[in-house]
Amino acid sequence: MRLRIATRGSALARWQAEQVASALRAHDPALDVELVVVETTGDRRSDVPIWQMGGKGVFVKEVQVGVLTGQADLAVHSAKDLPSGEVDGLVIAAVAERGDPRDALVGSTLEALPAGARVATGSARRRVQLADLRPDLTFAGVRGNVPTRVERAKDHDAVVIAAVALERLGMADVIAERLPVEVMLPQVAQGALAVECRCDDAATVERLAAIEHEPSRRAVDAERAFLAELGGGCDLPAGAHATVTDDGGVQVDGMLASLDGRIVLRHRDRGADPAATGRSVAAHLLDGAGGRALLEDGWR
C-alpha cells in the first residue's frame, strides 16, 4: 500500500514527516510512503511577523488543502501550528509521542544575560514572559528557519528557540539553557506532532491509530481546549502546558497576557478530563482573573 504524506518543505518539517513515516513502516514494513511537499503562506512570507499574517494556521492551511483535495492521504504538522478548531472533513487521527515542550536560550543562560541584554524572538508569548521575569531586557524580532535563527545569536545576546526543534535537527549542542515550564510556559502543543487525515478515510484512520501516544494525546487535547476556550480570535500572548498525573488525570498550567507585557495572568488546575480541565483554566483566566477585559479592551 502507498501512503502520501503532505508536509512543509523545511528541514524540520521533513524530519517530522519522516519520523511518522518510519513509525508507520515499523507496523507495516511493506508500506510505501511518499512525501508531498507543500509551500505555505508562512514559508513564503518569512519577512512578516506571524501575528500580522493571522497567527495560527499560516503554516498548515495549504497542507490541509492538499489532504482534502486528495493530493495526499495524510499530513504531519507541528501541533503548535494548528488552530484550536478542527477543519471540516479532517480529523487529528494520531498524536505521536511528544518531544521536549520547553523553550531554549541560545547564546546565554537567563541568569548570565547582562542588564539591558537584547534577546531575539518573534513570539509575543516568549517576550512577555521574559519581560515579566527580567524587565530590563530588550527584544528584537526574528523569523526564518532554525539554523537562520541560531545564526542570529551572533548579533544578539540570546535567541529563543523551541528546544525540540534544535534536538530534531541535531543542533542541541547550541542550547545554553532549557527554560523550565514554571519559568516559560510553552506554546500550546509545542513539541508534539499531529497527524491529520480525511474523516471519511477509514483505512488511514485505522492505520494511524497504531502510532497514537495516549499520554501525549491527553496533554495536547487539554492544551488545545485551553486555547479554544480563549477564543479563536484571541491575538493576545497565551501559553499552556499539561502533564498526565499519576491517577491518569491532567494538570494544566495556563497563561494569558497583554501584548505590552504589563499584565501577565497565570492559573493551574487538575482534573480527570483533559478538555474540561483545559477549558477550566482558560475560563478562570478570562472570568476569574480579569483576562476578558484584556480581550475586550484591546490591551496592547
CB atoms within 10 A of CB 214: 11
State the residue for C-alpha cell 475586550. 296
- Classified as helix, coil or strand, 76 is strand
Which residues are 181's β-sheet partners? none
What DSSP string runs through 261-277? SS-EEEEEEEESSHHHH
Q: Could you give the CA distance from residue 159 to residue 141 in angstroms, rounded to a whole number? A: 10
For residue 67, the cross-strand partners are none
Q: At 161, list the grid cell.
A: 528557540
The answer to whether residue 81 is catalytic is yes
Residue of 81, 100, 221, 269 marked catalytic: 81
Return d(Cα 265, Cα 299) in angstroms, integer.
Answer: 13
- If one counts every other C-beta atom within 10 angstroms of the C-beta of residue 9, the result is 12
DSSP string, 220-239: HHHHHHHHHHH-TT--S-EE
Q: Which of 36, 37, 34, 39 is nearest to 21 (CA)?
A: 34
With left for phi above 0 and alpha for psi between -120 and 50, is residue 73 left, alpha or beta? alpha
Catalytic residue list: 81
